[in-house]
Structures are given as structure tokens and as C-alpha cells.
């Protein structure tokens, strides 16, 4: 792990350590991993396929993708209902969610060097672009079916615009704002669905994905853990 990450994300752990934590937690709760399915609400960026070591842990190929760009759960109530209806009988579901932020080895926040790229590129590209929009006090039309997700991301950052723009690290603050938006939406969606749930256990882990340069293992800073039984 390079120096910049502990400075900004002191609680960040390697993805393999997150995997160990999840296995330990589920076993302690006497949950059968092969009777557990998983979903994510992460940004569409292919860099977030870093959770591939999880593919063999759970039932089904997984994960169900609840998220769109930035990680907001754009699949909504319908997506969550569909996912929960796929849970094994007497089984459990795991949901991982949160925004992501790249930190390059030379310490640039919001950038990573991807495989076979000669220079770093933005990460999360959606949040970097949304940050530029709020700097210019710009909005995007929310009813454009070809780009409504980014319009929503911009509106979420506008809600915390002054804090973000006054921060020493605006993208980091924007990422925290995105986390709060994702966390709140996940809980609102679940609150609506909860009355319909029966014979199912939910294990939710929210946090910040910290993407590193291609050759270095990515990290995750856990922000919220919740376990619910119905």
C-alpha cells in the first residue's frame, strides 16, 4: 500500500482482507455461503470488477448489479426486489455498496493507471465530471434518457456543493457525499421492501472502494455494516 492511502483512508483494508472479514462474519452468523447470493451497488467502471475473488464464494455466478455510474443504486426498488427474489430458500444475501476513488501511486487523488495505459485516467470518472459541473454551477437535464444517471449524480453533489468546493480535497469530499447518497438510497429502498420480506437474512456492507494502479491490490474502507433477519 502506498503512502497516500493511509493518510486519506486510515481504515482501508485490502480486498482479500475484506473477503476474509465477510467469510468470518457469515460463518459466525451460521450462514451457509453457498446459500447466500450477493449484489453490488458500485460504479459501472470496469475497474470495480476487482471483486472477482468473491465469484466462487457464493451461490450463483453473482453479483446482481444494483448500481449505475458513481455507484448510486439506479436499479431502484424494482432491481432490489428482483435480486431478493433470487435468494436461495432459507438463505441469505450480501450487498456491497459505495462509491469509488482512484489514488495513483504518485499520490494523485482521482486518478489510476489502468492496464496498458501510458498515462493515468480519472477514477471515478462520473464523480470527477460531476465535480467539474458543480464548480461551474451547472446542471444537466434530469429527463434526458441518454444521460439521466450523470444528471442525478450532479444533483446529489449540488446538495453538498459548498462543503465540496471548500474542501482541501474536493473529490474526496464529493466521494463522501456520494457515499451518503448511496447509503441513504439503499436504506430507503430496503425500508419500502421490508414489509414484503420473509425467511431471509440480509448482510449489508457499505464503504469506499479505493482503486490503485493496475499492479497493486485495491482497497475498501468499511463505513457501515448491517445485519437484518426477516
Contact positions toward Zn ion, by CB under 5 A?
A: 43, 45, 124, 126
Given the complex with Zn ion, which of 160 and 211 has the nearer CB atom?
A: 211
Instruction: State whether residue 169 is helix, strand or coil.
Output: coil
Given the complex with Zn ion, which of 97 and 203 has the nearer CB atom?
A: 97
Q: How far is the CB of 44 from Zn ion (least distance, A)?
A: 7
Q: How far is the CB of 137 from Zn ion (least distance, A)?
A: 22
Are the C-beta atoms of residues 113 and 104 closer than 8 Å to each other? yes
Cβ neighbours of residue 214 closer than 8 Å, sequence gap 6 or more? 112, 113, 114, 115
Nearest one of 42, 72, 40 to 58, comparing CA atoms: 40
Q: How far is the CB of 80 from Zn ion (least distance, A)?
A: 21
Q: How far is the CB of 71 from Zn ion (least distance, A)?
A: 7
Please give the C-alpha separations between residue 89 and each of 37, 56, 228, in angstroms, as whole numbers: 11, 19, 16
- Which H or E run includes 61? none
Q: How far is the CB of 76 from Zn ion (least distance, A)?
A: 19
Q: How far is the CB of 113 from Zn ion (least distance, A)?
A: 16
User: What is the DSSP annotation of 81-146?
Assistant: HHHHHTSPTT-EEEEEE--EEEB-TT--BTEEPPTT-SS-EETTHHHHHHHHHHHTT----TT-TT
Cβ neighbours around 5 below 10 Å, total: 18
Distance CA 127, CA 122 (A): 9
Given the complex with Zn ion, which of 183 and 201 has the nearer CB atom?
A: 183
Given the complex with Zn ion, which of 36 and 126 has the nearer CB atom?
A: 126
Given the complex with Zn ion, which of 45 and 218 has the nearer CB atom?
A: 45
Given the complex with Zn ion, which of 62 and 98 has the nearer CB atom?
A: 98
Amino acid at each position: 500500500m502506498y503512502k497516500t492511502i493511509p493518510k486519506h483512508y486510515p481504515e482501508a483494508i485490502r480486498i482479500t482482507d475484506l473477503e476474509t472479514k465477510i467469510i468470518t462474519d457469515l460463518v459466525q452468523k451460521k450462514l451457509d455461503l453457498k446459500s447466500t447470493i450477493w449484489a453490488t451497488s458500485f460504479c459501472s467502471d470496469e475497474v470495480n470488477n476487482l471483486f472477482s475473488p468473491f465469484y466462487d464464494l457464493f451461490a450463483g455466478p453473482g453479483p446482481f448489479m444494483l448500481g449505475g455510474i458513481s455507484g448510486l443504486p439506479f436499479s431502484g426498488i424494482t432491481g432490489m426486489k428482483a435480486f431478493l427474489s433470487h435468494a436461495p430458500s432459507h438463505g441469505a444475501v450480501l450487498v456491497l455498496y459505495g462509491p469509488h476513488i482512484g489514488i495513483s501511486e504518485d499520490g494523485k487523488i482521482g486518478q489510476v493507471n489502468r492496464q496498458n495505459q501510458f498515462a493515468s485516467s480519472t477514477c471515478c470518472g462520473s464523480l470527477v465530471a460531476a465535480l467539474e459541473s458543480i464548480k461551474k454551477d451547472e446542471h444537466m437535464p434530469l429527463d434526458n434518457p441518454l444521460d439521466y444517471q450523470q444528471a442525478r449524480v450532479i444533483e446529489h453533489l449540488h446538495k453538498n456543493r459548498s462543503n465540496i468546493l471548500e474542501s482541501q480535497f474536493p473529490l474526496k469530499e464529493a466521494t463522501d457525499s456520494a457515499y451518503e447518497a448511496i447509503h441513504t438510497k439503499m436504506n430507503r429502498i430496503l425500508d419500502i421492501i421490508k414489509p414484503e420480506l420473509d425467511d431471509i437474512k440480509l448482510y449489508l456492507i457499505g464503504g469506499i472502494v479505493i482503486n490503485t494502479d493496475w499492479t497493486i491490490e485495491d482497497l475498501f474502507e468499511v463505513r457501515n455494516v448491517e445485519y437484518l433477519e426477516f
